[in-house]
Amino acid sequence: MAIETQSTQGLNADPAELEKFATLAHRWWDKTSEFKPLHAINPLRLNFIDELVSLNGKRVLDIGCGGGILSESMDEKGAIVTGIDLGDKALKVAQLHQLESGSKVDYRLISAEDLAGEQPESFDVVTCMEMLEHVPDPEAIVRACASLVKPGGSVFFSTINRNPKAYLFAVIGAEYVLKMLPKGTHEYQKFIKPSELSAWARHAGLDINQLRGMGYNPLTDHYSLGQDTSVNYLIHTIKPLR
């Protein structure tokens, strides 16, 4: 449980992005708050991961873990989870929540790149969810993920596609019409096409196994996994055995 303050200078991080999450951090575990969508999609992504890698007993790294919604749920499935983030407020909230939940996630304030230097090929599973669209150089995070995972291990990414429909749903719909997210949560130009993410993953030595869309129906307030990757999507990649 090492949490220290770290400047973002020289790091692949955008201070304004970290500040956005710092302002909201105290509401991370409030399921009616700005984090409601993350709570709502969590069972879907957790099952997707668990079905593919069987989390029980696995060493898992959750990059950009925030307040620990996914990290804690993977711990509950029996994984040995490390959660890293560069937001110290979110990590403090995550640690406080563990006092209530009894979860045993090891939270650390460290960048993915630095941890890759410290502990290469140490994790059976690496998850990096809803985070790539908030960093200046997402491809460098993908490379760090590829070096952190053991050969034969899995890396999962989720992010937002970049096209007019994604702009309409993820920015206009979520931030302006439904007001599920604060205005300015997402910047369109930072969205990532599945083809771009797949190319970064392949260049980093990861094989693409599955691509899944994550859909939201505002009429039923229901999320589901499917083939439509036009807005939110998940990718499962595998680092080949040597």
Q: How far is CA 225 from CA 42, 44, 70, 213, in A?
A: 11, 7, 17, 6
Q: How far is CA 130 from CA 66, 140, 185, 191, 233, in A?
A: 10, 16, 11, 10, 10
Only segment of 50-58, 86-94, 178-186, 198-206 that touches ligand SAH (CB under 6 A): 86-94
Q: How far is CA 72 from CA 75, 77, 80, 186, in A?
A: 5, 9, 10, 25
CA-to-CA distance for 194 and 32, rounded, in angstroms?
30
Only segment of 15-23, 74-82, 175-183, 192-200 that touches ligand SAH (CB under 6 A): 15-23
CA-to-CA distance for 112 and 26, rounded, in angstroms?
24
Q: By CB under 6 A, how many residues form the interface with ligand SAH?
A: 21
155 binds ligand SAH (CB under 6 A): no
State the nearest-atom distance from the C-beta of 119 to ligand SAH, in Å: 16
> How, if at all, do strands 59-63 and 80-85 pair?
parallel
Which residue from 53, 130, 144, 154 is in contact with ligand SAH, where contact means CB under 6 A?
130
Which residue from 53, 90, 115, 201 is in contact with ligand SAH, where contact means CB under 6 A?
90
87 binds ligand SAH (CB under 6 A): yes
Annotated binding-site members? 45, 64, 85, 129
Residues that bind ligand SAH (CB under 6 A): 12-13, 17-18, 21, 38, 64-66, 69-70, 85-87, 90, 111, 129-131, 134-135
